[in-house]
Structure 1
Amino acid sequence: MNLTGIKARLTLIIAIASLAVLIASGTALWTIGDIQGEVSEITEKEFPRTASALTLALIGERLQRHGESLMTAAGSDDRDTIQNLIGADLSAMRSQLVLLRQLLPDLRGAEEQLVLLSSDLAFNLTSMRQNLETQTELELSVLYKRAQLMDQKEGILQVLGPSVLAINAIVTATDAQSAEVLTKAISSQDALLTSERLINSLMVQVLLAERATNAEEVRQRSLSYQRTLQQFLNSVGNLPKGLKDRVQRHLGVLESQTTDGSIFDIKTQLLSTVALLQATIDQTRGLATALDQEVDILLANDQRSIMETSGRISDLFVTHTVQFLISSLLIVLLLVVLAYSLIARPIVKNAMALTRAMTRIASGEPDVTIPGLQRKDEMGDIARALSVMKDTIARIHGLDKELAEQSQLLITTLDTMTDGFTVYDANAELVAWNPRFLSLYNLQSNMISAGTPIRQVHASLARQGIRVFELHGPETDYPTVARSRMLVPKQFELRAPSGRIIEMRSTPIPDGGHVTIHLDVTEQRSAEERVRQAQKMETVGELTSGLAHEFNNILAVIAGNLNIIERGLSDDPRLKERAHKAMGAVERATMQVERLVMFSRRQKLSPEDVEINELISGLVQLFQYSLGPDIEVETELEADLPMIRVDPVQLENALMSLAVNAKDAMEKGGTLTISTATGPDNSIEITVADTGIGISEEALQKVINPFFTTKPAGKGTGLGLSMVHGFVSQSGGSIDITSEQGKGTKVLMRFGASLEHVSQPGIDVRTPRGQGELVLVVDNDLGVLDVTAAQLEALGYNVDTAAAGEEALAKLKANPEFKLLYSEAMLPRPWDGEALAKEAKGLNPDLAILLTSAELGALDHVPHECLQKPVPERVLARAVHDQIRRKASQSSAHQT
């Protein structure tokens, strides 16, 4: 063949080219086979495994967040919602694992470990929820049991209390008692006091057990409770039968605390549940940490595997290209160039482009264009697998962005909180805070930075004079506060010189340090103080009421005996005058007791016809004594005024209140003038004027408002003028207050004149006497009983007495000749005054009823006339005489 011809050369070239193509084709097929194996390793195993691992990792992170949410869930509904989310994530995790097993039958242990850790985490979260519910139920059970026990204690004390007081009265009575009565009283007193002490001791054991921090302490309190309960039961056995039966009705709940289901058992279960919950929390944190570590290891291994496979692909290209060049160079250099240009170079270019894209994706670049996605060969498979990995990484970056946005939201929330917020680390150095924290304590922003020691912050507060106290407890110091907040949840109060009160609520962080909320509770504490003051005044009122009751009984005995002494001293004017003065002192004491009763409750008005000039004249001496020597008391009383119908005691109290106000307005002395005059429309005017500092026009508009006062703190309650205004209005009158600063204040009260009862001269005011009528006097106070009987006998009545309702009924049944029953209204039940009167009327319908009590305000519902102790003898004589005469008139009318 002539090789010089163009055709031959072309034919030779074509032949050689055909041979080269055959050789190149064989070499290319061999190369592609090796590359396809490596690509299959990535597309069929590595990428699906990486995608599944990332999905499992995301699910595990969600489970961990759900666990943290479960710890802080506010209620059962929130916990149910979080538990449902955990269940959904577990289902997704199982589905992903099934898919992974289908793709890779030879699944490696790392994925299995990830699933096991996530499953254990979910199990712990479910257990944690159950433990939280159990803890809540046990705590509620403890509170319920304690409330039951406290109710039984109060019931027992209410049974024992009156008996203790009654026996104390018997033991301490000044009048002689029989030895037998005194011995029984002392014996009963010992049993009652012992029972009272033991029931309180039982409640102390219960409260100590409730505050116990370990099971052994609860067991010791249970044993102490059982011993004390046995002593209490023995003591109850020594009580009088009536009391013992009533106390034993309350023993069921007390005795049930020594059996299963007692408050001690529940407290032990609660301590066990708290310990189990803490163990579960610790285990959950460990699982979460292990899960994070496994995810990090799995992702690192996958990235390393992908990079190694990419490197092998690159090495294969280089190796087979060299082999191709060596074999092709032996045939024809041109074919090598052509083969490289047409086959090798495009493949290497695409592989390098993919490698560069993989490198950029691995470095975190989001906008990477992947070449060869439309290719139908293995390079296209690689490109598409790389696209899946890119989308997965993009989702991870999206989650990071979402987390950053949530962090920013948290920061914004803290910045807008109305309460201060701080976080300190384990070294007691400031980590985070919000602007409200700085404004609460007047701290400058340039003084506070990350890492500021807590002692530096405390020093700044101390320089401002801010003091720190235990919550509702004593003052403490800042070093103690810093130490205790690291250990247990604590609450403190910080009190600034300005009066601001800030409450700190600190909670330790598991890894060390603490989180604190700072609340401005100034207004809250002020409101609480007002409530406590109101409760204190209520307690003082109850005590005052009880004292007034006892004093009235005592004054009744004194007044009665003085009346008897006064009558027996007719031959000794000097001693009779002394007795008369003593009687006046009793009357003043009675008025003081009435004023005490006003502080305890609002009295029902008892209006009667009052000679106003006489009432004021009787108060002048008391005013002069009470107001002191610097205040001169003057009266300007118009003569021959009609009577007014008011409650005289309340009118005296109103005048006394106005006099005290006038004294406070005249600190340097002055004149108090009380005057009476006829007003328009036949009204009667009473004016109280002083020469004090006066009241401003602005304050004058508010002086009758409750709790408004112009006096300095601690010198007035703001109730004086409001009480006077209420009394005058309730009595059908009106009040007018005028004042000028520097010139004094004038209070004018106007009442209507009594049209039916006008003071007339010449009325017979002699004390009415009896005609030997038979009267039954009943009173459980033997001193009052004795003096009342003596007074009535001196007034001409035949008198029989009884110290109790049962005894009185027996005498009424035995003798139908009684004309009047005069009884204490507050006798012990069941035969108190009202019940006794009702039964007595059933026995004798013609019997007149008259009651008396030292606590008249509590007897508004009694449907009989009731006299308030101490009863003046003239009032007693008139009431007894009128009741007997009225009942006799009614009986005559019925017979007619």
Structure 2
Amino acid sequence: MHSVRARLLVAFACIMVAALVLAFVGWRGLTDTESALEELRREILPDISHSLELAERTASLASLAPFVAEASSPSQLQHDRERLQQRVQQLKQLAGRIRHLESAPQLRQLLERLYGTLDELIALTQQELFQREDLRQLLYRLEALDGDVALPAVDQLLAAASATRRELERIEHRFSTRTDVNSKLAASATPIFALRHRQLDLKQRQSYLLASVRATSDQLSAEVKGFVDSLQQRFSQQQQALSATVNKGQVRILTISLLALLALMSGTALVLNLTRNLKAVTGLMTRLAAGVTEQATPAVQRRDEIGSLARAFNVFRENSRELQSMTEDLRQQQRLLQTVFDNINDGLSVFDRDQRLLAWNPRYLSIFGLPPERVHRGVSLASLQTLMSKAPHGNRTLDNRPLDMTETNLQRPSQPIRFERYYRDGRVIEFRSQPMPDGGFVTLYSDLTDRKAIESQLRQAQKMEVLGQLTGGIAHDFNNLLAAVIGNLQLLGQQRDLSDKAGRYGQRALAAAERGASLVQRLLAFSRKQLLHPEPQSLNGIIEGMLDLVEYSVGSQIEIRTRLEAAEDRVFVDPGQLENALLNLALNSGAAMPDGGTLCFNTRLERDPQHGDRVLVEVGDTGHGIPEELLERVFDPFFTTKEVGRGSGLGLSMVYGFVKQSGGDIAIDSEPGRGTRVSIRLPLYQGPDQSADDGRATPLTYGEGEQVLLVEDDGLVLEAVEEMLAELGYEPLSCRSAEEALALLEEGQPDLVLSDINLGTGLTGIQLRAKIRERWPDLPCVLASGLPREQLDSRYHLPADAPVLAKPYRLETLAQALSNALNRA
């Protein structure tokens, strides 16, 4: 929603909705408050009023009870009864108007008890009046008796009519002991005493009922007070709920008011922003009308009507700027095109439909060596090609077929043409012609000499990589064969009953096998996979130390010269491999000078800010040289220019591998009849000195009957190493897989485990070593392999702390490795 109109409508809609919601919430709050007040007025307050009135009427009813009990005549009793019943009826009606009387069941029970007590009191009072009337009639008859009745006895009976219970019992006792009582008086005395007793019983019951009425009234008052308290508590709860409702309504009203205020502020800010941006755009238009174009446009990023207006203004202003700067841009483009035309690395020429020159750049002249005074506008293509033909060359297509230039010149105005021109000095020029719409053609001329050289180097490196992979792949199997051969030959040499002649044969075979092992190392050097031991070395010292060997190797007819200028400069290389490389180069030079000549060794320091300082060693000769077409193949393995049987073709290829692995570069420069020069550049070593091994031979160490578990999948190697272990004084225990080895270890633990790394299918020797270290941490394990450590790292993830016995190994090497492992354990 980016429209200003939409945002304003939304803001006003929010304000309107907020107002409606505010009104609804206020109305709903007032309605809820009114309902709550109405409920209080309708239920709580009347119940409180009726309850208080009930208490008051109950007290009034209780105060009327004594008057009922003291009624002196039936008419008075009837009057008091009617009054009492009227008040009881009013009390019942009042109790019926109390809505929540069921919440106070004790109050209803007390009312029912009061009603019953009053009814019983009225009935007793009525009986008492009847008995009083009967007693009065008996007394009246007693007074009418004849004069022969003893007056004292009559007085006692008259006193008994109003006596208390104790006095009555005393009078009755005295009356019974009188002797002057006749039969009539005795007959009148019995009912009098009985009536008085019943009258006293009724009085006693009346007193009890009056006390019960007062007690019930007091209980009613207390119960009414409790009921009123509960109603007041409920009233308080209703009041709290009403206050909570009012507070909630206030919060809602406040929240909605804030939202409405926020919507109002947003709308106000939007209107202010709208007017401000409109004012800014209007000012820009006014300044643009005055001719001012360099000014920033506000609100361009807005996605509403203001932003659309600002962007439209931008387009209008840009059009105005373009109209003003078009002429200047055209002039600048013309200068730029001319600069590019004059300074591009490729030559360029434009010919019209009549094959006459229209335009060219300076590179066109320099790339073909054309004299500037002979090149001008309108010169023909044929004339220019005649000038170009002074330098011998050949034209070929991209697929290396010869090209007819006459036919090509006819095709260039009508179709794209691309071909290459090869000069005898090694230069390669590429022609790329494109026809033009109005006839003629334009041609770009690129010097491909450097690119061709780089492509050649890339192809050479690719061939080296493929052959290196092949060499590394066969190294393991070949080393296994050599391990079996060397081991058996050494065991043969240890036999005491061996004849001298057989001993010589064995030594020759052992020497040949060790030369084979050396050849494998040289092959691995070529494949850049041999394990080098680099040290800081002086090139001058290495060359001076091997001059006698070189003199002996190349023959006395060759003069050796040295120019060693790198006395203080060192390189970080394997000295043995460097000697081998230099000797290979010297032998190649000697073979190139069968009739004698000069062999030169030169060293010097080269300062190179781009590649770093390097030490240069050159091996040059004055031999017959190498033809140009063979130079790119001299580093290929098995390629040689020597006669069959006089060379393996691995010399230069292994030198190449050693130099590349040592971080250096190698180049060869040769010309038939003038000799060859090989240049090796190695990085200058600027680190600290490192102590080298003193090279002393390690004496042969024998075992003391320790049991060695041998794990080897190659049967020939297995048998040879078993006998070598026995020769060294160890007890061999053999198996052909890691799984078999683990089973044997479960049966009993040997003193040492010697395992090949590549065990065919199943677990590798490295995995076997890990399981042994996990299960039997104190059991030493020695690994052996015919692969270089770098390949073991990449293929099998060889741990850095794992010692590896390189195949093929001699008896002395095996003895030393086993002794070291047992001593470490």
Larger radius of gyration: 2
TM-score (norm 2): 0.42
Q: Which has the higher contact order (CA 8 A, sep 6+)?
A: 2
TM-score (norm 1): 0.39
